[in-house]
């Protein structure tokens, strides 16, 4: 377990855009932040990156909160960027006054044409800052044509003349990846404000990180290249940048990135399938790290293992079948007390519920599969297998030898000993026909455990 060296509490944030349901890859980011905060006596902020009004939806934000809650992640603070426009406008003005935010009027096609020209001239395809050359008259002409400006942040990658950029390295010691370097001369001045006056993610994110006292920005490594410009923006706004950590991303089995649109792997869909939250948490955190993937029964257990730097640098393939293996391992270990409420919702309650759970939990992958065995105990055998010929004769004989009540864990061996003595059958030839008569299924929980639950009356009712 890692602790910040000076024991300062960490403040982290998970900043999803509420434009869809979160998936296991988003959960990885949330969990890295959550576990890091817990290890460092810190605070976890859930910050909705909802400045894109057209695509952000309250229902997605609510679903994200509910999904996090279900996973066991309860934010200390929840913030909405759509409510913080004034802070962003103030920061934009500050940058404008410092000459660091400039109006641009190019259309997408114009930019694309220039990009191709630069490539043809073997120049890096970055924005050439042509808008800095516009005169007031040029700007007025554009405005008269109905063009609205978008606004770019002037990166500090030059000495005197912004048209003569020079290599400008920005370094940070990434909490996950170790020392990182990016060159600000290799990138375009980022657009911070769109033509319609709305903000792209960068400025609100940096302004909030400053105002909310974020100490560590932990997120997917698709943001590594944004970090250089963001560090420059922190400085331009008079603040030192926080620490950064970029973890590897999860991909599908075929190597494609996960998307909020591919809802099959959404946390909500996985919950509906019946996965335990800790199966998802265990896989979401441990996959693609130097730890082996194993079912951690609690966040506390996961906390013991978690180290941000244990994430590897390459993407990790997410295999849903691994989730089932983990779920099975967790379900096998679930105590009755921890599931009794859920069992009761499934109609499994009363004095038999606890011994029943202890009898069946090792035979199921999902808690709800207990209902299949509850029906076998309470209602009668499943109609999957039938008996015929000698087996039928044998079972009829065995049923005439059922021990008297009370029944307990020894009844099964008393009964089968009697049947063996009477018929000479042993091993599988003895057990399997009885299992089929009692349950209608060829494999399942120990019959010694099931028999007292079925009871003498229930057993006699199954006599073929």
3-class secondary-structure state, position 441? coil
Give the shortest CB-42-to-ligand GLU separation in angstroms.
16
H or E stretch at 46? strand 43-48
Selected from 11, 12, 17, 295, the binder of ligand GLU by CB under 6 A is: 17
Give the shortest CB-201-to-ligand GLU separation in angstroms.
6
Bridge partners (DSSP) of residue 311 are 289
Determine the interface stretch with ligand GLU among 14-22, 81-89, 279-287, 352-360 (rule: CB under 6 A).
14-22
Selected from 223, 352, 420, 462, the binder of ligand GLU by CB under 6 A is: 223
Give the shortest CB-376-to-ligand GLU separation in angstroms.
47
3-class secondary-structure state, position 350? coil
Give the shortest CB-43-to-ligand GLU separation in angstroms.
16
* CB neighbour list of residue 378: distance below 8 Å, 6 or more residues apart: none
Which ranges constitute the DSSP H helices of 101-223? Answer: 108-120, 136-144, 202-211
Give the shortest CB-295-to-ligand GLU separation in angstroms.
28
* Binders in 148-207 for ligand GLU, by CB under 6 A: 201, 205
Return d(Cα 40, Cα 60) in angstroms, integer.
Answer: 30
For 407, phi then psi, to 5°, come to -105, 145
Residue 49 interacts with ligand GLU (CB under 6 A): yes or no: yes
Give the shortest CB-352-to-ligand GLU separation in angstroms.
48
- Binding to ligand GLU by CB under 6 A, coded x per residue (else -) over 369-408, reads ----------------------------------------
Structure tokens given for 380: 């009668």
Give the shortest CB-220-to-ligand GLU separation in angstroms.
7
Closer of 17 and 327 to ligand GLU (Cβ)? 17
Return d(Cα 179, Cα 163) in angstroms, integer.
Answer: 29
Closer of 19 and 273 to ligand GLU (Cβ)? 19
Structure tokens given for 410: 């020894």
250 touches 287 (CB < 8 A): yes
Closer of 217 and 377 to ligand GLU (Cβ)? 217
Return d(Cα 37, Cα 75) in angstroms, integer.
Answer: 10
Selected from 129, 219, 247, 260, the binder of ligand GLU by CB under 6 A is: 219
For 318, phi then psi, to 5°, come to -95, 120
Which residues contribute to the site for ligand GLU (CB under 6 A)? 15-17, 49, 201, 205, 217, 219, 223
């Amino acid at each position: 377990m890692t602790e910040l060296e000076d024991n300062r509490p960490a403040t982290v944030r998970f900043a999803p855009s509420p434009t869809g349901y979160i998936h296991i890859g988003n959960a990885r980011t949330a969990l890295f932040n959550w576990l890091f905060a817990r290890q460092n006596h810190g605070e976890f902020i859930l910050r909705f990156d909802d400045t894109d009004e057209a695509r952000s939806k309250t229902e997605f934000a609510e679903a994200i909160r509910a999904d996090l809650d279900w996973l066991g992640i309860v934010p200390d603070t929840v913030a909405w960027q759509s409510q913080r426009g004034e802070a962003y406008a103030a920061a934009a003005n500050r940058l404008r006054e410092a000459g660091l935010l400039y109006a641009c009027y190019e259309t997408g096609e114009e930019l694309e044409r220039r990009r191709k020209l630069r490539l043809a001239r073997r120049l890096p395809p970055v924005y050439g800052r042509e808008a800095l050359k516009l005169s007031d008259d040029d700007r007025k002409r554009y405005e008269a044509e109905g063009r609205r400006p978008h606004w770019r942040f002037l990166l500090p990658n030059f000495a005197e003349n912004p048209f003569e950029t020079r290599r400008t390295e920005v370094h940070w010691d990434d909490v996950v990846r170790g020392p990182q370097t990016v060159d600000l001369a290799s990138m375009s001045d980022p657009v911070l404000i769109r033509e319609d006056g709305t903000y792209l993610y960068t400025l609100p994110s940096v302004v909030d990180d400053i105002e909310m006292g974020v100490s560590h920005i932990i997120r997917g490594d698709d943001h590594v290249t944004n970090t250089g410009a963001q560090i420059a923006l922190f400085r331009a706004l008079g603040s030192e940048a926080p620490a950064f950590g970029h973890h590897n991303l999860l991909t599908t089995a075929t190597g494609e990135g996960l998307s909020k649109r591919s809802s099959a792997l959404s946390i909500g869909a996985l919950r509906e399938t019946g996965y335990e939250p800790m199966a998802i948490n265990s896989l979401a955190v441990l996959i693609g790290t130097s730890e082996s993937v194993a079912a951690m029964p609690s966040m506390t257990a996961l906390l013991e293992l978690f180290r941000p730097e244990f994430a590897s640098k390459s993407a990790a393939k997410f295999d849903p079948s691994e989730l089932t293996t983990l779920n099975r391992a967790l379900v096998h270990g679930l105590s009755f007390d921890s599931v009794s409420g859920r069992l009761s919702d499934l109609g499994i309650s009363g004095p038999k519920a606890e011994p029943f759970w202890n009898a069946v939990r090792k035979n199921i992958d999902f808690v709800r599969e207990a209902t299949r065995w509850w029906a076998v105990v309470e209602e009668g055998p499943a109609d999957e297998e039938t008996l015929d010929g000698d087996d039928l004769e044998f079972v009829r004989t065995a049923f005439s030898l059922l021990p008297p009540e009370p029944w307990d864990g020894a009844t099964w061996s008393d009964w089968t000993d009697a049947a063996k003595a009477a018929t000479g059958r042993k091993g599988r030839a003895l057990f399997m026909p009885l299992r089929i008569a009692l349950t209608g299924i060829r494999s399942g929980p120990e019959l010694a455990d099931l028999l007292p639950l079925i009871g003498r009356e229930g057993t006699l009712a199954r006599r073929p």
